[in-house]
Amino acid sequence: MSLCDHLSGSIIIHSIAPYASVNIDVNFEGKDGYALDLDDDDDDSNSKRTMIRNILTRIFTVSRMEISSVTLQVINDYSKLEMLPQFSNLSWLYASFLESFWELLPTFLGCCPNLHTLILGFEFDKEECPIKLSSVPPCFVSSLKYVELATQGTTRPSSQMKLAIYFLRNCAALKKLTLSGSFGYDIIKKIKKIPRRSRRCIIVTG
CB 132 within 8 A of CB 103: yes
Coil, helix or strand for 50? helix
Q: Tell me the CA end-to-end span of the chain in Å, nearest whole number.
A: 28
CB 203 within 8 A of CB 191: yes
CB 71 within 8 A of CB 25: yes
CB 70 within 8 A of CB 25: yes
Output the pTM of the full model.
0.87
Domain boundaries, the chain: 91-206
Chain segment 91-122, per-residue pLDDT in tens: 999 998 877 677 788 888 999 999 999 999 87
Quick one: CA dihedral 5, 6, 7, 12, positive or negative? positive
Chain segment 140-188, per-residue pLDDT in tens: 999 999 999 987 655 677 778 888 999 999 999 999 999 987 788 899 9
